Amino acid sequence: MLLASVTLSSCTAGEAEAEADGSDPEPVATQPRAEVVRAHLFDDDGDGEAAFARVKEHFEAGNPGYAMEFLAAATEIAADASSRIVFVQTPIEEAPAAAEIHTASGTTGTELHVGDIAVLRPGERLTVEPAVAALVFDVPDAPDENVPAAIRPDWDPDITDVLGGCATETGAYRRILLTWLKDNGPYTFHGLNAHRVRITDSFTHYHPADTGFDEFYLVQMSNDEDRILTSYHAAAIESPETMTPKLAEQLFDVHEVRAGDLIYLPRGVIHRGLGGVLAQVITVPGFRPGTEIGVDHHLLAINERLGLEGEDALPYNVEASTEAVVR
């Protein structure tokens, strides 16, 4: 079972020169802002706990004021001085769980099921029966009053499929729970954004280390074909004219995916989802417009320049390869 990614290697200009004169270049390890980590949330052995601990450590170090925890079977989520965004991964039972959000002015009742989120403002707590598994984020700012206490993408008439991002095909399932822009969905919040989406063939992209955001795939359904491609080599991919065959062979890492996985994609890491994975895609801070940078046109250019075909060709999204994509 794969619980963590491998840090890939990069190629400097000096290595390119060495390859050109026939010598064997030595790979040079990159130092990304933080590593990609895949943790299976329901593995309670030492390896599973260690993987989640690494996700938590990297995320909290890079996002001051935020915290995260996973609760495998919670019947109560206590009040905190921070706001808390609770992602329901699955009730222990098949039927939706009965939940109550307790505030200073009273109690709000709701149902919660996989894919739903509860929004707890400072001093509010959640009780639920039967127990649920939940990924909980502490966020430094409170959501606006327009954000409800529970957001249920499959039951809320104000949330409908919106094509874009990782799901552009006709009939795609993509429901936006918390968004940066009012034009994209009914509930806005800049501290954290989330959309639940089935990813069949996303375009290959990254979010800049300086202006972008960290991203999580909280996997809620999967099949044997699901996988995520990642790369630390954005700078090399964006310079197709200097790409070498040696580096092209090691650009991407492939991660298997299964339901219950939490995949951490730090700022600056290229990624692409394939196969039909259904995930809650969570971004911290929110999804800033103009910070989703596509690289498929560069991957196509590398294939053409190096004559890479068939199994040797770099994978790319055909639809997104005709021009530069920035969203």
The DSSP-derived string for 136-182 is: EEEESSPPPTTS-SEE-TTT-TT-----BTTB-STT--EEEEEBSST
Q: In terms of Cα–Cα distance, which of 165, 202, 205 is closest to 294?
A: 205
- Architecture of the domain made up of 1-62+154-327: Sandwich (2.60)
d(CA 118, CA 74): 13
pLDDT band at 36, cuts 50/70/90? very high
Which are the contacts of 239, defined by CB distance < 8 A and separation ≥ 6?
A: none
Q: What pLDDT, in 10s, does the model give residues 192-215?
A: 999 999 999 999 999 999 888 999
Q: In terms of Cα–Cα distance, which of 251, 249, 258 is closest to 235?
A: 251
**Mean pLDDT across the chain, nearest whole number?**
87
Q: Is the pLDDT of residue 25 over 50?
A: no
Ranges of each domain in the chain: 1-62+154-327, 65-152
Question: What pLDDT does residue 286 have?
Answer: 85
Is the overall model pTM greater than 0.75, yes or no?
A: yes
Whether the domain at 1-62+154-327 and the domain at 65-152 fall into the same CATH topology: yes
Average pLDDT, stretch 71-87? 96
Place of tokens 């966020």: 139
Per CATH, the homologous superfamily of domain 65-152 is: Jelly Rolls (2.60.120.10)
Question: What pLDDT does residue 136 have?
Answer: 98
Which are the contacts of 75, defined by CB distance < 8 A and separation ≥ 6?
A: 127, 128, 129, 130, 131
Question: What pLDDT does residue 9 have?
Answer: 31
